[in-house]
Structure 1
Amino acid sequence: MKTSPDNPLLADLIAHEKRVWNALVSGDPAADSSLLSDDFLGVYPTGFAQKSEHVAQLASGPTVTSYDITACQAKPLGERHAILSYKARFRRASRTTDETMYVSSIWERNGDGWINIFSQDTPEADG
């Protein structure tokens, strides 16, 4: 993954996005919850998820064993919002093979940091 000192927005959003992934790897619902807005919306191949559903997936422990994010791009969406888009390769705790998704997450500036308000995962096409 390329992060550039010339693009502090990209570096900052990647750091926050990795905190979400790390919560999935460690099975930490409190960490996951702290990074999502109360009105968070996730759009996934399985349907929609609210914050409570995103956090609840960690009730039985980690859901991901490993991940890597690449091809990261960030774009500001006004003064307080930005979108981070990237390619994620990861392995679910319940599987033995990796999956690849294209992910877009919208982050809202919250004090000195960012909070995730929206995320959409699109599976990589076969072929």
Structure 2
Amino acid sequence: MCGRITYIVDLEKMTCSCRLWDLSGIPCVHTVCAIYNKEEDPEKYLAKCYRKEMYMRKYKYALQPINGLDLWENTRNEKKITTKVQCHARKAPKKRAKMVQDESNKTNKTKRLTKIGRTMTCSICKIPGHNQ
């Protein structure tokens, strides 16, 4: 019981109604209380993947450290491995991009209005000399 909420622990099925034990494989607080109540070993209820035997099996074949580059043996039969640099072909430009470019060329031929000599006015205070 945790505060007003009651949690149901089933040690045989290795489940708790809070679902923490089910999700992680590590006994939750409620489970640990139930285990100590029965005076049993808590490690018995731990998921197999968290036990010491499994840890030792996982890291049995770990890489061992090697000497520094200065202490390596020199070999006579050295083959240099070179890799080819591959250039990827570019995609053809899309039709839409060409159309936009053609339209922009048309607008360059017509004269555009400039803002030179025009006084800016603020849209908030309506005072000339600055904008917003």
Q: Which has the higher helix share?
A: 2
Which structure has the higher relative contact order (CA within 8 Å, separation 6+)?
1
TM-score of the two chains, using structure 2 as the length reference:
0.19
Greater C-alpha radius of gyration: 2
